[in-house]
Structure 1
Amino acid sequence: MVPIAKAAASPPIAVICGSMRFYSRMLQVAADLTLAGQIVVMPHCVVAEQDQNGTTKGMLDLLHRRKIDLADYVVVVTDEKGYIGTSTANEIAYATALGKAVEYRAVGDQGPQ
Protein backbone atom coordinates (compact mmCIF):
# COMPACT_ATOMS: atom_id res chain seq x y z
CA MET A 1 0.00 0.00 0.00
CA VAL A 2 1.34 3.42 -0.94
CA PRO A 3 1.41 5.85 2.01
CA ILE A 4 -0.74 8.92 1.66
CA ALA A 5 1.11 12.17 2.26
CA LYS A 6 -0.42 14.17 5.09
CA ALA A 7 -1.50 17.66 4.13
CA ALA A 8 0.18 20.58 5.85
CA ALA A 9 -3.05 21.30 7.68
CA SER A 10 -5.63 18.63 8.33
CA PRO A 11 -9.11 19.54 7.16
CA PRO A 12 -11.63 20.27 9.90
CA ILE A 13 -13.90 17.43 10.99
CA ALA A 14 -17.59 18.26 11.29
CA VAL A 15 -20.19 16.02 12.88
CA ILE A 16 -23.79 16.49 11.83
CA CYS A 17 -26.52 16.18 14.45
CA GLY A 18 -30.28 16.44 14.06
CA SER A 19 -33.49 14.52 13.88
CA MET A 20 -33.40 11.65 11.40
CA ARG A 21 -36.62 13.08 9.97
CA PHE A 22 -34.25 15.62 8.39
CA TYR A 23 -31.93 12.99 6.91
CA SER A 24 -32.13 14.32 3.35
CA ARG A 25 -31.31 17.78 4.70
CA MET A 26 -28.34 16.30 6.59
CA LEU A 27 -27.06 14.78 3.35
CA GLN A 28 -27.34 18.17 1.65
CA VAL A 29 -25.31 19.85 4.42
CA ALA A 30 -22.78 16.98 4.38
CA ALA A 31 -22.29 17.45 0.64
CA ASP A 32 -21.81 21.20 1.06
CA LEU A 33 -19.25 20.72 3.83
CA THR A 34 -17.42 18.00 1.89
CA LEU A 35 -17.19 20.23 -1.18
CA ALA A 36 -15.76 22.91 1.13
CA GLY A 37 -12.91 20.50 1.93
CA GLN A 38 -14.07 19.20 5.29
CA ILE A 39 -14.35 15.70 6.70
CA VAL A 40 -17.95 14.97 7.66
CA VAL A 41 -19.38 12.30 9.96
CA MET A 42 -23.06 11.83 10.69
CA PRO A 43 -25.64 9.25 11.73
CA HIS A 44 -26.73 6.72 9.12
CA CYS A 45 -29.25 4.45 10.88
CA VAL A 46 -32.89 5.15 11.64
CA VAL A 47 -34.41 3.47 14.69
CA ALA A 48 -38.14 2.73 14.43
CA GLU A 49 -40.39 4.74 16.75
CA GLN A 50 -41.34 1.64 18.75
CA ASP A 51 -37.64 0.85 19.35
CA GLN A 52 -36.56 4.29 20.63
CA ASN A 53 -35.92 2.91 24.13
CA GLY A 54 -34.17 -0.28 22.96
CA THR A 55 -30.55 -1.37 23.10
CA THR A 56 -29.89 -0.52 19.44
CA LYS A 57 -30.91 3.10 19.99
CA GLY A 58 -28.65 3.30 23.04
CA MET A 59 -25.72 1.83 21.13
CA LEU A 60 -26.23 4.25 18.23
CA ASP A 61 -26.47 7.22 20.62
CA LEU A 62 -23.18 6.18 22.24
CA LEU A 63 -21.54 5.72 18.83
CA HIS A 64 -22.69 9.20 17.79
CA ARG A 65 -21.14 10.66 20.95
CA ARG A 66 -17.83 9.09 19.88
CA LYS A 67 -18.26 10.88 16.54
CA ILE A 68 -18.72 14.12 18.48
CA ASP A 69 -15.51 13.32 20.38
CA LEU A 70 -13.64 13.02 17.06
CA ALA A 71 -15.06 16.17 15.51
CA ASP A 72 -13.70 19.68 15.65
CA TYR A 73 -17.20 21.11 15.67
CA VAL A 74 -20.89 20.21 15.46
CA VAL A 75 -23.43 21.21 12.82
CA VAL A 76 -27.04 20.87 13.94
CA VAL A 77 -29.38 20.44 10.98
CA THR A 78 -32.97 21.45 11.56
CA ASP A 79 -35.98 22.70 9.66
CA GLU A 80 -37.05 26.29 9.12
CA LYS A 81 -38.97 26.14 12.43
CA GLY A 82 -35.83 25.19 14.37
CA TYR A 83 -37.04 21.79 15.59
CA ILE A 84 -34.61 20.08 17.98
CA GLY A 85 -35.65 16.79 19.58
CA THR A 86 -34.50 15.24 22.85
CA SER A 87 -31.62 13.21 21.38
CA THR A 88 -30.30 16.20 19.46
CA ALA A 89 -30.58 18.43 22.53
CA ASN A 90 -28.57 15.84 24.48
CA GLU A 91 -25.92 15.77 21.74
CA ILE A 92 -25.69 19.58 21.79
CA ALA A 93 -25.26 19.54 25.58
CA TYR A 94 -22.56 16.85 25.29
CA ALA A 95 -20.67 18.78 22.61
CA THR A 96 -20.94 22.03 24.56
CA ALA A 97 -19.59 20.31 27.69
CA LEU A 98 -16.58 19.22 25.62
CA GLY A 99 -16.03 22.79 24.44
CA LYS A 100 -16.98 22.03 20.83
CA ALA A 101 -18.34 24.85 18.69
CA VAL A 102 -21.95 24.29 17.64
CA GLU A 103 -23.41 25.72 14.42
CA TYR A 104 -27.06 25.56 13.37
CA ARG A 105 -28.26 25.07 9.80
CA ALA A 106 -31.95 25.52 9.13
CA VAL A 107 -32.37 23.93 5.73
CA GLY A 108 -35.53 24.62 3.73
CA ASP A 109 -38.02 21.94 2.84
CA GLN A 110 -36.53 19.43 0.43
CA GLY A 111 -39.70 17.38 -0.06
CA PRO A 112 -40.57 14.11 1.66
CA GLN A 113 -38.08 13.10 4.33
Structure 2
Amino acid sequence: MRFRGRARSGAPATAPPPQAPADQAVAPPPTLVIDALGRKCPIPIIMLAERIREVPVGQIVAVLADDAAARTDVPAWCRMKSQDFVWEETLPQGGWGFHIRRTY
Protein backbone atom coordinates (compact mmCIF):
# COMPACT_ATOMS: atom_id res chain seq x y z
CA MET A 1 0.00 0.00 0.00
CA ARG A 2 1.32 3.45 -0.90
CA PHE A 3 0.80 6.48 1.27
CA ARG A 4 0.37 9.87 -0.33
CA GLY A 5 1.18 13.04 1.58
CA ARG A 6 1.86 11.15 4.79
CA ALA A 7 4.89 9.53 6.34
CA ARG A 8 4.67 5.75 6.76
CA SER A 9 4.13 6.18 10.51
CA GLY A 10 0.81 7.88 9.76
CA ALA A 11 2.11 11.27 10.87
CA PRO A 12 1.62 14.12 8.39
CA ALA A 13 4.64 14.89 6.26
CA THR A 14 5.94 18.31 7.29
CA ALA A 15 8.77 20.54 6.24
CA PRO A 16 11.51 21.21 8.80
CA PRO A 17 11.21 24.53 10.65
CA PRO A 18 13.12 27.50 9.24
CA GLN A 19 16.68 27.60 10.52
CA ALA A 20 18.89 30.55 11.33
CA PRO A 21 19.81 32.61 8.28
CA ALA A 22 23.27 31.84 6.91
CA ASP A 23 24.28 35.42 7.64
CA GLN A 24 22.78 36.23 11.05
CA ALA A 25 23.83 39.85 10.64
CA VAL A 26 20.86 40.15 8.25
CA ALA A 27 18.38 38.92 10.88
CA PRO A 28 17.21 41.74 13.15
CA PRO A 29 17.80 41.26 16.87
CA PRO A 30 14.71 40.57 18.96
CA THR A 31 13.01 43.51 20.64
CA LEU A 32 11.76 41.20 23.40
CA VAL A 33 13.18 37.91 24.69
CA ILE A 34 10.82 35.61 26.59
CA ASP A 35 12.71 33.09 28.73
CA ALA A 36 10.55 29.97 28.99
CA LEU A 37 13.47 27.61 29.64
CA GLY A 38 12.46 24.91 32.10
CA ARG A 39 8.75 25.52 31.47
CA LYS A 40 6.58 22.75 30.05
CA CYS A 41 3.86 22.98 27.45
CA PRO A 42 1.70 25.07 27.20
CA ILE A 43 3.49 27.71 29.30
CA PRO A 44 5.86 28.97 26.52
CA ILE A 45 2.85 29.61 24.25
CA ILE A 46 0.90 31.30 27.04
CA MET A 47 3.88 33.56 27.79
CA LEU A 48 4.20 34.45 24.08
CA ALA A 49 0.47 35.17 23.73
CA GLU A 50 0.48 37.42 26.82
CA ARG A 51 3.57 39.42 25.87
CA ILE A 52 3.64 39.77 22.07
CA ARG A 53 1.66 43.02 22.32
CA GLU A 54 4.60 44.60 24.18
CA VAL A 55 6.54 45.01 20.92
CA PRO A 56 5.60 47.24 17.98
CA VAL A 57 4.17 45.65 14.83
CA GLY A 58 7.02 44.48 12.61
CA GLN A 59 9.41 43.81 15.49
CA ILE A 60 10.81 40.44 16.58
CA VAL A 61 10.01 38.45 19.73
CA ALA A 62 12.30 35.56 20.69
CA VAL A 63 10.97 32.72 22.82
CA LEU A 64 13.61 30.56 24.53
CA ALA A 65 12.28 27.10 25.34
CA ASP A 66 13.65 23.64 26.02
CA ASP A 67 10.40 21.66 25.97
CA ALA A 68 10.41 19.64 22.72
CA ALA A 69 6.71 20.38 22.23
CA ALA A 70 7.58 24.03 21.61
CA ARG A 71 9.21 23.06 18.29
CA THR A 72 5.76 22.31 16.90
CA ASP A 73 3.62 24.49 19.17
CA VAL A 74 5.30 27.85 18.42
CA PRO A 75 5.08 27.60 14.60
CA ALA A 76 1.50 26.28 14.88
CA TRP A 77 0.53 29.19 17.16
CA CYS A 78 2.06 31.62 14.66
CA ARG A 79 0.00 30.15 11.80
CA MET A 80 -3.16 30.16 13.90
CA LYS A 81 -2.64 33.78 15.03
CA SER A 82 -1.30 35.09 11.68
CA GLN A 83 2.10 36.01 13.13
CA ASP A 84 5.32 35.43 11.15
CA PHE A 85 7.50 32.56 12.35
CA VAL A 86 10.87 33.89 11.21
CA TRP A 87 13.36 31.22 12.26
CA GLU A 88 14.50 28.77 14.90
CA GLU A 89 17.95 28.51 16.44
CA THR A 90 19.51 25.85 18.64
CA LEU A 91 20.77 27.32 21.91
CA PRO A 92 24.26 26.38 23.17
CA GLN A 93 22.89 25.56 26.64
CA GLY A 94 20.17 23.34 25.15
CA GLY A 95 16.75 24.19 23.85
CA TRP A 96 15.76 26.52 21.06
CA GLY A 97 15.18 30.16 20.31
CA PHE A 98 12.06 30.83 18.24
CA HIS A 99 11.92 34.18 16.47
CA ILE A 100 8.48 35.60 15.68
CA ARG A 101 7.67 38.86 13.87
CA ARG A 102 4.55 40.61 15.16
CA THR A 103 2.22 41.30 12.23
CA TYR A 104 -0.67 43.13 13.91
Q: TM-score, normalised by structure 2?
A: 0.37
Q: If each structure's helix is expressed as a fraction of its own residues, which one has the higher value?
A: 1
Q: TM-score, normalised by structure 1?
A: 0.35
